[in-house]
């Protein structure tokens, strides 16, 4: 770093040692141009700047126009851009073009038009546009919006304009790329396995950090790959500036704070580092650095606090920069963007990785229902089964066999292979291909388990969000919904030994809402962590606190408690009634005696006869008169229970019905 401690690289360092708020002695973008003696000196050069409808983009465009170069500024909203640059727009000097970084199609359309207008010339590319810490959204191409706008769109723009940058480079002025990053890259390291922060992992500041690290990696890789060909790149933090970029942040804690206001810059000062990197003579033939306050930034010192200057260690991680470059190439080079998100997923999909072998002999899906995953295998097996008459023993056996296969009991995760039965699985694990694959897994099994755990959690939470939202559902019931999807990751391949352990983990980490119900056990519900939802919950909490202070909250709470107690009592009564009904149904027989009124009515209908009384059977046989002197049942000892007995006084005794 000694070469960057020379006066030409540190000429503005002293001015940044004692900041005194916006408009202080720190340089502006136009002052950089004047100090470099470049006013009107870059005539014939072509400059492209993205995001010039507000903030530091406007000041960057004005300063670059002062160099005499032909400047093209882009904006997503042309009307807004024209108003912002109304006093500076001039054909042949500063022109405004339409570019929506939310769409890769728009990027391609713009690049084609731009190259035609400039005759394939471009000397300086400034990737200035960006968005910051917005609620979770997607671009038109299905990418996480901050990452898609701040990194992927600029990556594609560079790739499309790279031939022009390389061909425009000369020995007098080599082409440059300036990537406006942020100190926000320090919020968190980039997760290349889940760059899109899917599966409930989305946090606005983490997504912003991912995109800003992407800006740094883009500049570093450009320098590494094309520096020897006369194309150089730097990334930078412009400083603290109050602009529309912070529209989604709660600034009440920051604005008005004297210590913070002391570090803040004006928009003209915020554009200074960008212009310094773009035109300063000291950067001729150099690049690959992260800049801050018009100098090369040092490593970040945590003791300096949030406002301290510097970069985190991962900013110069060459391996991650290479991987992200390769991953970013897939969607941006594809012509069919309808499924680019599915192809990319912007994570390292480990198709041939799995936890240790002993996990694989367990069920991939539970036994309480068929699993339509691997439908291809199921259909193939079912098609080969012999046909049998519906309802026959063979037909039922085939159904059971097919159902067992649908459960995917014998599934090998490392090889992505479904075996028919235990014997087939045994043969497979002894095969050369499986042994070879297990050698790969055995090198670092914990890494593979962690990858599957991450996939499982992400897919579980994503499905919970889309299917049930914030409604409560039994964890076990929802898990059975989850495993119906093809290519799901089963829990046996993760670090969690049971569903209960996994759900409690989600609750502890605050990823989903979890509660325990006496009837349904563990219940889960998706937790909305967006800025709007958080703000809404805070407003509700503040309202409840206000009601509690005023006394109205106590009455409201008592009503809620009374209502809850009433609901619980009704629920208990319903359960008790259901139990009693079940007990009544299980009773085998019930004996009821006829009422005197019914007996009297029956006696009127019967004609008096001298013969023996007719025999009635309680289980529905038609009454039949027996011959005189006979009972119709021989000398059975039990005939008295079927035969109506007459008392000695001649009155008919009350009869009994027997219910079976």
Selecting among 45, 65, 145, 212, the annotated active-site residue is: 212
Phi and psi at 483, nearest 5°, equal -75, -5
Residues 6+ apart with CB under 8 A from 109: none
CB atoms under 10 Å from CB of 532, counted, come to: 10
Taking the C-alpha atoms of residue 491 and residue 189, their distance in angstroms, rounded to an integer, is 27
Taking the C-alpha atoms of residue 470 and residue 152, their distance in angstroms, rounded to an integer, is 32
Can you count the helices (H) and strands (E) in the chain?
23, 14
Taking the C-alpha atoms of residue 141 and residue 103, their distance in angstroms, rounded to an integer, is 7
Taking the C-alpha atoms of residue 256 and residue 63, their distance in angstroms, rounded to an integer, is 29
Beta-sheet pairing, 124-127 with 521-526: unpaired
- Give the three-class secondary structure for 58: helix
Taking the C-alpha atoms of residue 104 and residue 111, their distance in angstroms, rounded to an integer, is 11
Q: Does residue 300 contact residue 237 with C-beta atoms inside 8 Å? A: no
Would residue 208 show up in a list of annotated catalytic residues for this protein?
yes
Distance set, CA 505 to CA 199, 204, 331, 495, 509 (Å): 15, 22, 34, 11, 6
Taking the C-alpha atoms of residue 108 and residue 153, their distance in angstroms, rounded to an integer, is 10
To the nearest 10 degrees (0 to 180), the angle between helices 445-467 and 432-443 is 90
To the nearest 10 degrees (0 to 180), the angle between helices 552-586 and 531-550 is 110
Residue-wise burial string across 65-87, b where 16 or more C-beta atoms lie within 10 A, e elsewhere: bbbbbbbbbbbbeeeebeebbee
Selecting among 168, 169, 175, 181, the annotated active-site residue is: 181
Selecting among 12, 187, 202, 208, the annotated active-site residue is: 208
Taking the C-alpha atoms of residue 197 and residue 489, their distance in angstroms, rounded to an integer, is 18
Would residue 212 show up in a list of annotated catalytic residues for this protein?
yes
Question: What DSSP line would sit under 285-309, residue for residue?
Answer: T----EEESSSB--B--GGG-TT--
- Scan for tokens 């755990």, then name that residue: 453
Residues 6+ apart with CB under 8 A from 229: 166, 169
Tell me which residues are annotated as active site.
Answer: 181, 208, 212
């Amino acid at each position: 770093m000694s070469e960057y401690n020379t006066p030409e690289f540190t000429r503005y360092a002293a001015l940044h040692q004692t900041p005194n708020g916006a408009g202080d002695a720190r340089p502006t973008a136009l002052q950089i141009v004047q100090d470099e003696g470049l006013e009107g000196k870059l005539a014939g050069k072509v400059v492209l700047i993205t995001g010039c409808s507000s903030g530091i983009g406007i000041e960057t465009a004005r300063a670059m126009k002062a160099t005499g170069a032909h400047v093209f500024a882009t904006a997503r909203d042309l009307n807004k851009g024209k108003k912002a640059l109304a006093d500076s727009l001039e054909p042949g000097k500063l022109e405004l073009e339409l570019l929506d970084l939310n769409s890769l199609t728009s990027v391609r359309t713009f690049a084609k038009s731009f190259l035609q207008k400039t005759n394939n010339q471009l000397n300086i590319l400034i990737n200035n546009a960006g968005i910051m810490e917005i609620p979770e959204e997607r671009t038109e191409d299905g990418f996480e919006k901050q990452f898609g706008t701040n990194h992927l769109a600029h990556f594609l723009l560079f790739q499309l304009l790279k031939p022009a940058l390389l061909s425009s480079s000369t020995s007098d002025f080599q082409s440059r790329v300036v990537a406006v990053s942020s100190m926000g890259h320090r919020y968190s390291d980039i997760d290349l396995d889940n760059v899109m922060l899917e599966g409930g992992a989305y946090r606005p500041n983490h997504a912003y950090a991912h995109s800003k690290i992407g800006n740094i990696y883009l500049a570093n890789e450009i320098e590494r790959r094309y520096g020897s060909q006369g194309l150089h790149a730097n990334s930078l933090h412009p400083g603290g500036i109050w602009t529309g970029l912070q529209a989604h942040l709660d600034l009440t804690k920051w604005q008005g704070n004297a210590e913070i206001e002391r570090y803040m810059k004006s928009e003209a000062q915020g554009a200074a580092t960008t212009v310094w990197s773009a035109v300063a003579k000291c950067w001729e033939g150099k690049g690959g650095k992260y800049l801050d306050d018009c100098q090369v930034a040092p490593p970040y010192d945590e003791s300096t606090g949030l406002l301290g200057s510097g970069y985190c260690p991962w900013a110069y991680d060459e391996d991650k920069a290479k991987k992200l470059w390769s991953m970013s190439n897939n969607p941006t080079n594809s012509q069919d963007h309808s499924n680019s998100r599915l192809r990319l997923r912007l994570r390292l999909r480990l198709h041939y990785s799995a936890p240790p072998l002993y996990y694989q002999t367990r069920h991939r899906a539970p036994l309480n229902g068929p699993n339509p995953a691997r439908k291809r295998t199921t259909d193939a097996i079912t098609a080969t089964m012999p046909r049998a008459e519906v309802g026959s023993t063979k037909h039922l056996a085939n159904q059971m066999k097919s159902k067992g296969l649908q459960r995917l009991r014998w599934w090998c995760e490392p090889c992505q292979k479904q075996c028919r039965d235990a014997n087939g699985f045994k043969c497979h694990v002894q095969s050369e291909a499986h042994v070879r694959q297990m050698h790969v897994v055995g090198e670092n099994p914990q890494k593979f388990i962690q990858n599957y755990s991450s996939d499982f959690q992400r897919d579980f939470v994503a499905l919970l969000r889309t299917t049930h939202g914030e409604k409560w559902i039994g964890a076990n019931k929802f898990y059975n919904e989850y495993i119906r999807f093809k290519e799901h990751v089963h829990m046996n391949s993760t670090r969690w030994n049971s569903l209960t352990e996994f759900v409690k983990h989600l609750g502890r980490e605050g990823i989903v809402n979890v509660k325990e119900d006496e009837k349904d056990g563990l219940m889960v519900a998706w937790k909305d962590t967006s800025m709007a939802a958080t703000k809404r919950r805070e407003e509700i909490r503040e309202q409840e606190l206000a009601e509690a202070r005023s006394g109205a909250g106590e009455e409201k709470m008592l009503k809620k408690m009374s209502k809850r107690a009433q609901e619980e009592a009704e629920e208990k009564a319903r359960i008790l009634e259901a139990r009693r009904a079940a007990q009544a149904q299980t009773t085998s027989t019930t004996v009821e005696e006829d009422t005197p009124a019914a007996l009297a009515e029956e006696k009127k209908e019967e004609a008096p006869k001298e013969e023996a009384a007719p025999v009635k059977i309680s289980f529905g046989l038609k009454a039949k008169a027996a011959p005189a002197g006979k009972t119709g049942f021989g000398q059975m000892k039990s005939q008295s229970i079927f035969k109506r007995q007459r008392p000695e006084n001649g009155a008919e005794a009350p009869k009994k019905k027997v219910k079976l």
